[in-house]
Structure formats: C-alpha cells, structure tokens
C-alpha cells in the first residue's frame, strides 16, 4: 500500500515539475536569453526544411530534439534535488531519534539492581 501511494504521489509530483519547467522556468530563461524556447529546438536529420518541430514531426522527418532533452535534464535536476532534500531530512530525524534514545540511560535489569543493593548493604556493615 505504501508503495502504491508513493508511485501515485511521484506521478503527480512529476506532472507538477513538468509544468514548473515548461510554464515557469523556461519562459524566464527565454526572457533572459532573447526569446529562446528550448522545447522547440531541434536539428533536422533529413532533407528539407521545417520551421517548427511540430511541422517536422508531422512530416515524419527524423529530428534530433536537443531542446526537449534540455527540458528533461532541468526536470530531472529539480526532482533529484527535492528527493535529496527529502532523504536528508528523514535521515536527520532518524539521527535525532537515535541520539535521544542513547542519551536517556536505561534502568539496569532487576537482578543487577538487587546485586547492587546487596553490595551497598554489605559495604555499610
């Protein structure tokens, strides 16, 4: 059940990151780089000339879609960073819990406590 929830949340998170990259990050990068849209960058590997990637794909031309690859790399870096921060946070919580357990001294077993009392009583005599 936990794995299913993780997969569903992962798919939803991927959709959010895709939107973040295509709708927010790429337009900002495009603004600073003079209107470059990574998603539409391609190299035509066949004869002929096509104005857009969609036109080349519609004509069935072989294309090298390096713009789509750049978008995928940006999405991967965002997802990898978020997963890294999540794992780091979970590990810090685990370390804090272990340190808390180690800091609290546990009571000695009953037989050790009884032997300690007998020893102390014998010392007093």
CATH number of the domain that residue 108 is part of: 1.10.1200
The pLDDT value given to residue 14: 85
pTM over cut 0.75:
no
The pLDDT value given to residue 17: 85
3 state SS of 64: strand
Number of domain units in the chain = 1
The pLDDT value given to residue 75: 82
The pLDDT value given to residue 79: 83
The pLDDT value given to residue 104: 63
State the residue range of the domain holding 68: 2-124
Report d(CA 82, CA 69) in Å as an integer. 20
Q: Pick out the chain residues at pLDDT < 50.
A: none
**Rg of the chain (C-alpha set):** 31
The pLDDT value given to residue 103: 67
């Amino acid at each position: 059940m936990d794995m299913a929830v993780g997969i569903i949340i992962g798919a939803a998170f991927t959709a959010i990151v895709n939107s973040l990259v295509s709708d927010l990050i790429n337009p900002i990068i495009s603004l600073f780089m003079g209107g470059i849209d990574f998603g539409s960058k391609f190299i035509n590997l066949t004869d002929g000339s096509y104005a857009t990637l969609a036109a080349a794909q519609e004509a069935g031309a072989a294309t090298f879609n390096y713009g789509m690859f750049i978008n995928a790399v940006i999405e991967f870096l965002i997802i990898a960073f978020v997963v890294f921060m999540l794992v780091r946070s979970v590990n810090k919580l685990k370390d804090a819990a272990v340190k808390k357990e180690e800091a609290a001294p546990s009571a000695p077993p009953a037989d050790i406590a009884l032997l300690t009392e007998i020893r102390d009583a014998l010392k007093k005599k």
